[in-house]
Copies of this chain bind each other. A is one copy, B any other.
Amino acid sequence: MSSEDFLRLDLQLCFPLYAASRAMVQAYTPLLSKLGLTYPQYLVMLVLWETDGVSVKELGEKLYLDSGTLTPLLKRLETLAFVRRERSKEDARSVRVSLTPQGRALRRKAASIPEAIACRTGLTMEELARLRRDVQRLFESVSR
């Protein structure tokens, strides 16, 4: 097997990962569109539901996204009235993002989504947990 054989599409890891990631996002899409959210917007809401009032920097660290992605996304969430954005009093470079009452209320509507998605995977909770752990390890290896 020569080094060029490794160029075969069916032998690559990245391509299935890329295809699976997009397919999972597509599975979320009809559920999220009922809430008026895209998948990346949903990720931001997940963070805020856990920890309200984070800075753009902290959001970026949790989601591995930069301000070039987050700033316009957060502006859209603000237009939707799910979040507020305000310059920090202590450090005027920083912007704090916090939930509006509507943003907080959205959490209950989103509560059924994770289980619906888990079903779509056809995996048991144990298989899901193992795959998540393996993919997380891969991420950690690759992202440095």
Q: Which of B17, B26, B110, B120 contacts A17 (CB 8 A)?
A: B17
Known: A18-B24, A120-B141, A139-B20. A115 touches B13 (CB 8 A): no
Would A122 and B141 count as touching, CB distance under 8 A?
yes
Would B24 and A142 count as touching, CB distance under 8 A?
yes
Whether a CB of chain B sits under 8 angstroms from the CB of A33 is no
Q: Which of B11, B107, B123, B138 contacts A20 (CB 8 A)?
A: B138
Mark A106-144 against chain B: 1 for CB-CB distance below 8 A, else 0. 011011111101101111000010011011101101110
* Interface size, A (range): 35 or more
Would B17 and A21 count as touching, CB distance under 8 A?
yes
Those of A1-42 within 8 Å (CB) of chain B: 2-4, 6-9, 11-28, 39
**Chain A residues at the B interface, C-beta cutoff of 8 Å:** 2-4, 6-9, 11-28, 39, 43, 46-47, 49-50, 62-64, 107-108, 110-115, 117-118, 120-123, 128, 131-132, 134-136, 138-139, 141-143
